Each structure stands twice: as C-alpha cells, then as structure tokens.
Amino acid sequence: VTSRTIFSGIQPTGRLTLGNYLGALGRFVDLQHTARCVFCVVDLHALTVVHDPKELRRLTREIATLYLAAGLDPAVCVLTRQSDLPAHTELMYLLESTAYVGELSRMIQFKEKGRGRPRTRVSLYTYPVLMAADILLYGSTEVPVGDDQRQHVELARDLAIRFNRTYGPTFVVPELSPATVGARVMDLQNPTTKMSGSAPADSLGSIRLLDPPEVIVRKISRAVTDASPDVGYDPENRPGVSNLLEILAGCTGEADPAALAGKYDGYAALKRDTADAVVGVLKPLQNRYAELVADPAHVDATLRLGAERARELAAPTLAAARTAIGL
C-alpha cells in the first residue's frame, strides 16, 4: 500500500489568474491536510519560452508569496523551488532516455506553442519529461492540475510504467486528479480559449489574483455572454455564460454549475453574484499577500527550508532510478 503523496507546481511565466487558482492553487490548500504534499514553483519550466531573467526571479518570489497567501502552510506541506533541486534535472535525463521522440512530438502544448516555429527552444520540446521527473521524484500518487495538463500527466504515467517494466519496479505510477469544477476557466473576452497569465496586462479577459476588487467587478461585468436572454449551462454552445457559472460554482463551493443556472433570469444578477464570489475568495488572499510581501526574507527562508525537506524526500527515488538503469 502506498500512502497518498501529492505533487503539483505552477510556473513563473506570468501573473497568476483565477484559472490557476480554481484549477490548482485553491485545491492545493484543501489537499494539504489530506496527504503528504509537495508544491513547487517550477521555475525551470519558465525557461522554455522567451523570458527575462530579472522578471523570472521576481515572479518566482511572487508565486511563492501567493502560495503562502492562499493558505499553504509550510509546517504541513513542502513548498519549494524546482531549481533548488538538481535531482529534478538529473531524473529528467534518465527519463529522456526512456521517452520517445514520437510521443513528445504528439504533445498538444508543444504543437500549439512551438512545433515548426524557428526559435523554439529544445527545452519546450522536453518540458513534459521534466514535468514527469517532478512528479515521479516524490513518489506522487496524485497530481492536481487543470485540464490543460492532462496529457502531460498521462506521459508521466507512461514513462513510469515503461521504466518499471524495463528496469524493475522503481516509480509509483501517478494518477491525474482533475478538478471537478474550474478545471478549465476560460478567458472572459474569448471564452473558447483558456484564461491565461500570459494574456496582455490590460486584457479584460483574464482575472489576476492580485487585481483590485473594482477591476474584478469591471472585468466580470464586461464578460462576453451571448444573444440568448436566459441563463443556461452549455459549455459547448454557450461558453461565455457557462464560464461565469463555472467561476461562480468554483468560488462558492457549489459542485454543479448547471444547478446554479436556474437561479438567474438575467445576466446582470449572475455577473453581480459572480463578481461578489470572486472578490470574496480573493480579498483575504490579497490581504495576506500585502503582509507577506513586506517580508521577502521570510518567503526566501520558507523556500530554503522546503528545499531541504524536498531533497530528503527525493533522494531515495533518484538513487533507486540510477541503480535500476545501470549507473
């Protein structure tokens, strides 16, 4: 019997959005008391696309601060930074020697962000292997991520199974742990694309975790809906209004967004309640963030302590993998 171990990470590539919160960060907070948890700021993943070194360091600390502000407790879970742990890249190489070019070429994210473009970084191509190393290193049984990461977790499973079969039992085979609500929060202006941190800073479509309440209210009041006068849940045909219902459900703990639709006979009330719910979830986080950001040394010390604990957790798996593969 394997005890539950949860790993997940967020990359410092942009300002975190409500999508990151509902699909990932908010769930980490609930999960931390249920299992051994490692939550990582995956800064090496941010090197896969054009980046600014100073901004990378700033965003890394911002995300670590947001982890704490959201309520992750370093006494309960391990909070760490990927680049503090060489074990991640070392295991990545062993897994690269297990993975096939063909299967990495099929990764949807690589196809969307890189394939065929001139200055595509090699690291963007191998990114899912590093992610597999992140997951497998801690013996993770579950990986709570948004829908867009589904295929990458599937690859981590495939690599673990292949390695175990070829070299003997070494890795725990992880399960995807999808969010039931909020697994794919969509852009408020283009509700057929996901809400993303890399949207332009002035985008009305993306709610940032640190947006002031009046900005959140404005963005939601301008959210695109459709011509039908009634409120209904139908993500395929009515993505805008369905996204608002999904956000409202995610922020109020309602399990079924469709059930909320019947409560509303117009968009104005739906938008008002959705904005209230989002502000209600984000306000306490923003208040704690304001306190924590005044003490960056505390955040840095938390990451240092996390790295020590993560190193201890990771060492046996890395050693086993090295031995199994013949090193």
Task: Give the footprint of ligand ADP on this chain (CB under 6 A).
Answer: 10-11, 13, 19-20, 22-24, 145-146, 148-149, 182-185, 194-197
Query: Nearest residue by C-beta to ligand ADP?
Result: 23
Burial 165-183 (b: 16+ CB within 10 A, else e): eebeebbbbbebbbbebbb
Cβ proximity to ligand ADP, 47 vs 321, nearer residue: 47
**Shortest separation between residue 320's beta carbon and ligand ADP, angstroms:** 27
Indicate the residue among 89 and 193 with the shorter CB distance to ligand ADP.
193
Nearer to ligand ADP, 163 or 184 (CB): 184
φ/ψ of 120, rounded to 5, equals -75, 125
For residues 63 and 70, what is the distance between their CA atoms, to the nearest angstrom?
10
| Residue 114: Cβ within 10 Å count | 19
51 near 13, Cβ under 8 Å? yes
Minimum CB–partner distance for residue 247 and ligand ADP (Å): 10
Q: Which residues contact 275 (CB under 8 A, 6 or more apart)?
A: 216, 217, 220, 221
The amino acid at 177: S
* Residue with Cβ nearer ligand ADP (20 or 242): 20
Q: Which is nearer to ligand ADP, 185 or 249 (CB)?
A: 185
Gap between the Cα atoms of 98 and 172, Å rounded: 16
94 versus 249: smaller Cβ distance to ligand ADP: 249
One-letter identity of residue 277: A
Q: How far is the CB of 27 from ligand ADP (least distance, A)?
A: 9
3 state DSSP class of 143: strand
The least CB distance from residue 71 to ligand ADP, in Å, is: 17
The angle, 0 to 180 degrees and rounded to 10, between the axes of the packed helices 239-252 and 267-292 is 50
Crossing angle between the packed helical segments 122-137 and 150-167, to the nearest 10 degrees: 70
Minimum distance of ligand ADP from residue 128's CB (angstroms): 11
Q: Give the shortest CB-24-to-ligand ADP separation in angstroms.
A: 4
Q: Tell me the three state secondary structure of residue 176.
A: strand
**Phi/psi at 154 (nearest 5 deg)?**
-60, -40
Q: Least distance in Å: CB of 62 to ligand ADP? A: 13
Give me the phi and psi of 111, to 5 degrees please: -60, -40
Using the minimum distance from each CB to ligand ADP, give the nearer residue, 246 or 321.
Answer: 246
- The phi-psi region of residue 326 (left if phi > 0; otherwise alpha if psi is between -120 and 50; otherwise beta) is left
Angle between the N-to-C axes of helices 86-96 and 122-137, in degrees from 0 to 180, rounded to the nearest 10: 110
Q: Which residue has the tokens 């957790």?
A: 313
User: Shortest distance, CB of residue 327 to ligand ADP, whole angstroms?
Assistant: 31
To the nearest whole angstrom, how small is the minimum distance from the Cβ of residue 143 to ligand ADP? 8
